[in-house]
Structure 1
Amino acid sequence: MATPVTRALVIGCGSIGSRHLRNLAALGVAELLAFDTDAERAAQAVAQVDGGRVVETLELGWEASPQLAVIASPTALHVPLARAAVAAGANVYMEKPVSADLDGVDELVAECEAAGLIGAVGYNWRFNPMIRRVAEVLDSGAVGRPLSVRAHFGSYLPARHPWEDYRVGYGARAELGGGVILDAVTHQLDYLVSMLGWPDAVSCRAGKRSDLEIDVEDVADLALDFSGGIVGTIHGDFVERPHRAALDVIGSEGTLLADFVARELRLWSAATEQWQSETFDFDHNDIYLELMRHVLDCAATGSKPSTDLADGARNLRILLAAKRSAETGEVISL
């Protein structure tokens, strides 16, 4: 029998944590607890929802017995917070990636499974209607056999959160698990995996190439070998203006081009030698709403999330292998 989530604890009340609070309220979670090391920020987030309150310490949060812990802290803090949540009997939703390194990751996966709890990782791109449509087109055989896929995400870091100094954000700081590979490329990897399966090998060129005041890589290009001989590439950067996000699929019988900024999908068929175009109109927050609805359903029923902790750990291992490849020049088997 399903047990609906009625009490959730959100840890970290920055932009994404605040969004999750609002969405949990919209989805009917009656009691919302919020914790942030910046108490004023937590209070501002809670003020946006009904039924919310700030907890002054995490211990008080755990004592309230939340059924779901939403971890929206910097990446480097994800694993210890998630393990504490599992120890307190809470299901876990964490922002991507699972961690900045592998310390405690396998233990977290095992502890969550042993406790009979669900652990979900926030790969929201899977809930983008354009990604779902791309998957449908590929499954239909409209481009024939996929031969090459190219995912691209470029976004100027200082413009992403213009209300704050980009230099203090987690994406800019190695100690917090920043860098374009862990921050952005992880999403592109996840949605490619959802369509093509896990890659067999990775190589990478990456580094800090701009004048941004950060201590992490701001440009990265990954090459991936997928089963069936599909060649994949992912480009990520913190420097591109204007923002660009796209996916190209070259197949034996056609080409598919997805522009996620213009929200347009274009398909060229070798059979007709013509382009077909499809546009999409949706509220960006609906992607996050659908993701959180999915997480709440999984927590209530015990179903496997679209990207669970084990999947997130595998994604992280590939990202860390890519970073190692950037240092050594190796092609790394996975």
Structure 2
Amino acid sequence: MKILMVGLGGSGQRLLRIFSEKVPDKQFYAYRVKRRLFAINPNFSVNQSENIEQKYRITVLNDLDQALAVCPDVTVVTNPTSHHLETAIKAASTGSDLFIEKPISHTLDGLEKLAQIVKKKQLIVFTGYQMRFHPAIQKIQALVSSGKLGQIMFAKLYAGSFLPAWHPYESYKDLYAARQNLGGGVLLTESHEFDYAYWLFGVPKRIYATGGNLGPEPLEVEDTASVVLEYYAKTTDRAFHVHLELCMMQTVPSRGCEIQGTKGSVIWRQEDNCLKIWDQESKQTSVQQFDAFERIEMYRSEIDHFLSCVKTRKSPLINLQDATNSLKMVLAAKNSMKTHQAVMLK
């Protein structure tokens, strides 16, 4: 299998390592801009003694067109968000299946063109929302979709991290997440909560968001966002709200959710590796621990899934339409934050 890596920063090198483990007969190619030769460890520290290109025998090409001329079977898109769509369209035009880091883009412009190419060439397109492969999120999705929680009354989804600590080997202000022109900001960068809210509840009717550069450091993008997604229950047409709290200048990282239904509730905290499920009828709480689960397993699982889809040609769990719907939610939140008005989606 010919695998083209477009971008080999921290995220790209993590995927490179896993693809190398999972694909026995492979040849790696890469198109890189910064072309740092050192290896980035799983904890994002630097190994200066290891040359990443030599270790994985990567053939590096000087420009994207030259790289795509090798006709890769799979193109892994991990360059800055604002370049995702241009790269994906060019790669799809050559007939390459696509693994695209989240979010799929920072704009809807060009997505229809990509969709047309993908449909014509019958390509596999997967977007890397790895939180869907966390066993706690999968359990929550099963509970919600089965109706075991009853009618949803409200939900809270939150994620907080500290941007200056993401990449110790470079200034955080140079990161795509901190730069408007590269598709940065917490809404796009931490869009996992939008995606699994969409997985759990679908596309909301309307979105309202507040926030901005509220952290201690001046940034040209929003680092904090509070978002309300308004849904209507299918059977009763009763409204319920899903609250998203996102921050990338939070010194103590956290991630989790709480969902309250008429028949039960769930509370999940990633830092505790613990899922608590309350059953209203029995008045009992069950606790599931995920102590043996490591975060890297989400990435391994998503790549297993992607490679299976490439082989079987089945539509992936997060296909192009799903990634588009999640992006529409994010962009509606950005628009709401700018206009101070709720944005209708349905």
Mapped pair 1:46 → 2:53: yes
Distance 1:323 1:95 in 2: 20
Task: Please report how far the alpha carbon of residue 41 of structure 1 lies from its aligned counterpart in structure 2 after TM superposition.
Answer: 3.6
Task: Please report how far the alpha carbon of residue 141 of structure 1 lies from its aligned counterpart in structure 2 after TM superposition.
Answer: 4.2
**Residue 17 of structure 2: which of 8, 19, 22 is its match?**
22
The one-letter code matched in structure 2 to 1:58 is L
Task: Please report how far the alpha carbon of residue 271 of structure 1 lies from its aligned counterpart in structure 2 after TM superposition.
Answer: 2.6
Mapped pair 1:180 → 2:191: no
Q: Secondary structure, in 3 states, of the residue corresponding to 1:155?
A: strand
Mapped pair 1:300 → 2:305: no
Mapped pair 1:125 → 2:131: yes
Quote the residue 1:244 is aligned against: 254
Quote the residue 1:3 is aligned against: none
Task: Please report how far the alpha carbon of residue 122 of structure 1 lies from its aligned counterpart in structure 2 after TM superposition.
Answer: 0.9
RMSD: 1.7
**Deviation per CA, 1:235-277, whole angstroms, max 9, x where unpaired?**
1011222101011001112221000121101122223333321
**Residue 33 of structure 2: which of 30, 34, 37 is its match?**
37
Quote the residue 1:104 is aligned against: 110
Contact 1:218 1:238 in 2 (8 A): yes
The one-letter code matched in structure 1 to 2:231 is F
Mapped pair 1:10 → 2:5: yes
Distance 1:319 1:67 in 2: 30
Distance 2:320 2:80 in 1: 17
Mapped pair 1:260 → 2:270: yes
Structure 2, gaps ≥5 residues long:
40-50, 234-238
Distance 1:226 1:146 in 2: 10
Quote the residue 1:226 is aligned against: 231
Contact 1:34 1:42 in 2 (8 A): no
Distance 2:95 2:148 in 1: 46
Task: Please report how far the alpha carbon of residue 73 of structure 1 lies from its aligned counterpart in structure 2 after TM superposition.
Answer: 0.3
The one-letter code matched in structure 2 to 1:24 is F
Task: Please report how far the alpha carbon of residue 227 of structure 1 lies from its aligned counterpart in structure 2 after TM superposition.
Answer: 3.3
Task: Please report how far the alpha carbon of residue 301 of structure 1 lies from its aligned counterpart in structure 2 after TM superposition.
Answer: 2.4
Task: Please report how far the alpha carbon of residue 333 of structure 1 lies from its aligned counterpart in structure 2 after TM superposition.
Answer: 1.3
Mapped pair 1:216 → 2:226: no
**Residue 122 of structure 2: which of 97, 109, 116 is its match?**
116
**Deviation per CA, 1:86-139, whole angstroms, max 9, x where unpaired?**
112211111111111222122112222122212211111111111111123334
Structure 1, gaps ≥5 residues long:
1-5
Distance 1:230 1:118 in 2: 35
Distance 1:41 1:321 in 2: 39
Matches within 5 A, 1:246-325: 246-280=256-290, 281-325=292-336
* TM-score between both structures, scaled by the size of structure 2: 0.90
* TM-score between both structures, scaled by the size of structure 1: 0.93
The structure with the greater share of residues assigned to strand is: 2
| % same residue | 28
The one-letter code matched in structure 1 to 2:287 is S
**Deviation per CA, 1:164-191, whole angstroms, max 9, x where unpaired?**
211100000001000000000x211111
Moved more, 139-148 or 19-28: 139-148
Contact 1:13 1:42 in 2 (8 A): no
Contact 2:98 2:126 in 1 (8 A): yes
Distance 2:55 2:188 in 1: 30
The one-letter code matched in structure 2 to 1:150 is K
Distance 1:46 1:32 in 2: 9
Task: Please report how far the alpha carbon of residue 42 of structure 1 lies from its aligned counterpart in structure 2 after TM superposition.
Answer: 8.2
Distance 2:10 2:246 in 1: 22
The one-letter code matched in structure 2 to 1:204 is A
Distance 1:260 1:287 in 2: 13
Aligned length: 327
**Deviation per CA, 1:182-203, whole angstroms, max 9, x where unpaired?**
000x211111211222212111
Task: Please report how far the alpha carbon of residue 142 of structure 1 lies from its aligned counterpart in structure 2 after TM superposition.
Answer: 4.1
Matches within 5 A, 1:143-154: 143-154=149-160
Q: Secondary structure, in 3 states, of the residue corresponding to 1:40?
A: coil
Contact 1:23 1:292 in 2 (8 A): yes
The one-letter code matched in structure 2 to 1:26 is E
Contact 1:265 1:279 in 2 (8 A): yes
Task: Please report how far the alpha carbon of residue 222 of structure 1 lies from its aligned counterpart in structure 2 after TM superposition.
Answer: 0.9
The one-letter code matched in structure 2 to 1:287 is M
Q: Secondary structure, in 3 states, of the residue corresponding to 1:298?
A: helix
Contact 1:201 1:331 in 2 (8 A): yes
Mapped pair 1:204 → 2:199: no
